Amino acid sequence: MKNIVLFGFMGTGKSLIARKLRDILGLEVIDMDTLIQQREGKSISKIFAENGEPYFREIEKKTAIELAEQQGVIISTGGGVVLNEENIKNLSKNGVCVCLQAEPETIFERVKPETHRPLLQTDNPLETIKNILNKRKINYLKVPYKIVTDNKTPEQICEEILNIYNKI
């Protein structure tokens, strides 16, 4: 049984959609960032602050390789997992990979109440979102399937994902 692997920038709905898919399919959800935090014993923000982004990206890569071996799970990836193309390739081996997308303004509205986003600790978070999305655009294009989440209910998004999953 293939995995469902959700990619996308922060605030595009990966965690929410993973939980909704779990409720529909009864499959286990593995959140990569949560798994890394549990293993490291600290938050992503703290990992970034104490060890740096390169250290985090290396752990992320090893976790992607490990999770690619799973069967029949829903994997919610971290927003930057696409920065290493090998992560997409590894997770695609046994996964239907879907990139959730949203406009920068939608993302900003969704994440502005949250304080655990290390990349958004800036004077102008909306501009930061636009800049990071622009830099990662080419990476997100490498994910085989894309779904825009703006102005859609979680149920509509899940239906689109299941339509893709059931065709493969």
DSSP 68: T
**Mean pLDDT, rounded, of the chain:** 93
Share above pLDDT 70 across residues of the chain, in percent, rounded to a whole number = 96
The pLDDT score that the predictor gives to residue 54 is 95
Task: Quote the pTM value.
Answer: 0.92
Does the domain spanning 3-167 belong to CATH 3.40.50.300? yes
Q: Express each pLDDT in 43-63 by its tens digit.
A: 988 999 999 999 999 999 999
**In angstroms, rounded to a whole number, what is the distance separating the alpha carbons of residues 112 and 27?**
30
Distance in Å from the first CA to the final CA of the chain: 11
Q: Express each pLDDT in 71-93 by its tens digit.
A: 999 999 988 899 999 999 999 99
119: pLDDT strictly greater than 80: no
